[in-house]
Structure 1
Amino acid sequence: MGSKKAESTSAPVIRRDPYEVLSVSRDSSDQEIKTAYRKLALKYHPDKNASNPEASELFKEVAYSYSILSDPEKRRQYDSVGFEALDAESMDMEIDLSNLGTVNTVFAALFSKLGVPIKTTISANVLEEALNGTVTVRPLPIGTSVSGKVFSGQAMCPLFCVTINEQQAESGIVVRVTSTAQSKFKLLYFEQDANGGYGLALQEDSEKTGKVTSAGMYFLHFQVYRMDSTVNALAIAKDPDAAFFKRLEGLQPCEVSELKAGTHIFAVYGDNFFKTAAYTIEALCAKSYEDTTQKLKEIEAQILRKRNELRQFETEYRKALARFQEVTNKYSQEKQSVDELLKQRDSIHSSFTVTRTVSNLSNGSTSKVLGEDSKAESPGKMEVMAKTNQPRKNGSI
Structure 2
Amino acid sequence: MAANRSKSEKQLRRDPYEVLGVLKNSTDQEIKSAYRKLALKYHPDKTANDPVAADMFKEVTFSYNILSDPEKRRQYDTAGFELMICQHDISNFANCKSQAVEAEGQELELDLSSLGAVNTVFAALFSKLGVPIKTSVSATILEEALNGRVSVDPLLLGQAVTKKVEKQCAHFYAVTVTEEEVSYGLVCRVESSSKSKFKLLYFDQEANSGLSLALQEDSKRTGKITSAGMYFLGFPVYRLDHTNNSVAQAKDPETAFFKKLDGFQQCELTELKAGTHVFAVYGDNFFKSVNYTIQVLCAASFTQEKEDLRSVEAQILTKRAELAKFETEYREVLVQFTDMTSRYAQEMQSIDELLKQRNEIHSAYTTAPVIKRSSSKNRLNRLRRNSFKKAAAEAPAPTEQEEEEDEEEEEESSKERNKKPSPSDKSETLKKKSKWYKLHLKLDKKKPC
- Give me the TM-score of the superposition, normalised by structure 1: 0.81
Map 1:14-53 onto structure 2 (within 5 A): 17-52=15-50
State yes or no: 1:270 paired with 2:283. Answer: yes
Deviation at 1:138, TM superposition (A): 1.0
| CA distance in structure 2 between the partners assigned to 1:390 and 1:57 by the alignment | 120
Aligned to 1:180: 193
Larger radius of gyration: 2
Name the CA shift for 1:71/1:170 in 2 (closer, same or farther; >3 Å).
Answer: farther
**Aligned with 2:253: secondary structure?**
coil
| CA distance in structure 2 between the partners assigned to 1:21 and 1:338 by the alignment | 70
What is the letter of the counterpart of residue 247 of structure 1? K
Root-mean-square deviation (Å): 3.5
Q: Which runs of 5+ in 2 are unaligned?
A: 1-11, 87-98, 404-449
Name the CA shift for 1:368/1:94 in 2 (closer, same or farther; >3 Å).
Answer: farther
Name the CA shift for 1:117/1:343 in 2 (closer, same or farther; >3 Å).
Answer: farther
Which of these residues, 61, 67, 70, is aligned with residue 69 of structure 1? 67
Deviation at 1:178, TM superposition (A): 0.7
**1:10-66, Cα deviation, whole Å (9 max, x unpaired):** xxxx96643343244433444542343133111111221233466445424423422
CA contact (8 A) 1:189 1:201 kept: yes
Which of these residues, 388, 392, 395, is aligned with residue 389 of structure 1? 395
**1:167-216, Cα deviation, whole Å (9 max, x unpaired):** 11000000001111110110000010111111100000111111111100
What is the letter of the counterpart of residue 106 of structure 1? V
**Aligned with 2:161: secondary structure?**
strand
Deviation at 1:391, TM superposition (A): 5.6
Aligned to 1:114: 129
Aligned to 1:83: 84
What is the letter of the counterpart of residue 253 of structure 1? Q
| CA distance in structure 2 between the partners assigned to 1:177 and 1:215 by the alignment | 5
More strand by share: 1
Aligned to 2:222: 209
CA contact (8 A) 2:132 2:247 kept: no
What is the letter of the counterpart of residue 65 of structure 2? S
Aligned residues: 368
Map 1:243-322 onto structure 2 (within 5 A): 243-322=256-335
Aligned to 1:362: none
| CA distance in structure 2 between the partners assigned to 1:54 and 1:115 by the alignment | 36
Deviation at 1:126, TM superposition (A): 0.7
| CA distance in structure 1 between the partners assigned to 2:346 and 2:13 by the alignment | 49
| CA distance in structure 2 between the partners assigned to 1:392 and 1:71 by the alignment | 116
| CA distance in structure 2 between the partners assigned to 1:314 and 1:137 by the alignment | 49
Aligned to 1:151: 166
**Aligned with 1:46: secondary structure?**
coil
**Aligned with 2:231: secondary structure?**
strand
Aligned to 1:198: 211
| CA distance in structure 1 between the partners assigned to 2:282 and 2:75 by the alignment | 33
CA contact (8 A) 1:355 1:369 kept: no
Aligned to 2:370: 354
CA contact (8 A) 1:186 1:268 kept: yes
What is the letter of the counterpart of residue 129 of structure 1? E
CA contact (8 A) 1:356 1:369 kept: no
More helix by share: 2
Name the CA shift for 1:264/1:25 in 2 (closer, same or farther; >3 Å).
Answer: closer
**1:311-332, Cα deviation, whole Å (9 max, x unpaired):** 1111111111122122223333
CA contact (8 A) 2:131 2:247 kept: no
| Higher RCO (Cα < 8 Å, 6 or more apart) | 1
Q: Which runs of 5+ in 1 are unaligned?
A: 1-13, 360-364, 371-376
Map 1:97-112 onto structure 2 (within 5 A): 97-112=112-127
| CA distance in structure 2 between the partners assigned to 1:279 and 1:233 by the alignment | 26
- Give me the TM-score of the superposition, normalised by structure 2: 0.72
Deviation at 1:256, TM superposition (A): 0.6
